[in-house]
Amino acid sequence: MASNQNQGSYHAGETKARTEEKTGQMMGATKDKAGQTTEATKQKAGETAEAAKQKAAEAKDKTAQTAQAAKDKTYETAQAAKERAAQGKDQTGSTLGEKTEAAKQKAAETTEAAKQKAAEATEAAKQKASDTAQYTKESAVAGKDKTGSVLQQAGETVVDAVVGAKDAVANTLGMGGDNTSATKDTTTGATVKDTTTTTRNH
């Protein structure tokens, strides 16, 4: 029975030793693997950093090249614009000079035409005024003659009316005198005696 116990203890110790050995091996392997992983990670990180550094340098160079190209392009564009502006200025100056000359010519022609038209209008106005004055003068003379004739006729009519009224009153009152009345001839202006006898009622 004691031998069985010893045998069991021996087996247990052997199992324990194997387990410890196996655990040690596993831990060692894990440690080695961890070390390898760390080394690989470090190496990878170094490579990545180097690549990033290289890429950054390349990007920097490319940016510098792009900036220089943009600067050159800007300079070329500015130079071309300057040249175009100078050409445009020359062309504008030439065109402006031509336009100014044409405007001066046109203004001179317009002024001359206006002067001529004004002279014609003045002459026409003078002629019209002269014609109007002549017509007014002739109308005034004709009006004067007509007025004189009308006044003469009116005067004669008034005289005839007065004489007629006087005779009528005299005859009515029986104061006809020698029963003659003077009648004025309206056509000749001469006085004609009327020798008719008036019979008085008794």
Q: What is the DSSP string of 71-95?
A: HHHHHHHHHHHHHHHHHHHHHHHHH
75 part of a folded domain: no
Place of tokens 């031998």: 3
CA distance 189 to 97: 90
Tell me what the pLDDT averaged over the chain comes to.
75
CA angle 125, 129, 135 (to 5 degrees): 145
| β pairing state of 191-194 and 181-184 | antiparallel
**pTM of the complete model beyond 0.85:** no
Mean pLDDT of the region 20-48: 78
51 part of a folded domain: yes
191 part of a folded domain: no
49 part of a folded domain: yes
Domain containing 47 equals: 18-59
Share of the chain above pLDDT 90, in %: 6
- DSSP code per residue over 27-66: HHHHHHHHHHHHHHHHHHHHHHHHHHHHHHHHHHHHHHHH
Number of domains in the chain: 2
**Which of helix, strand or coil describes residue 177?**
coil
74 part of a folded domain: no
99 part of a folded domain: yes
pLDDT at position 164, please? 76
Q: How far, in Å, are 163, 182, 196 from residue 172 at the CA level?
A: 14, 16, 15
184 part of a folded domain: no
| Span of 67-71, 125-129, 168-172 with lowest mean pLDDT | 168-172
* Last residue of one domain, picked from the residues 138, 155, 171: 138
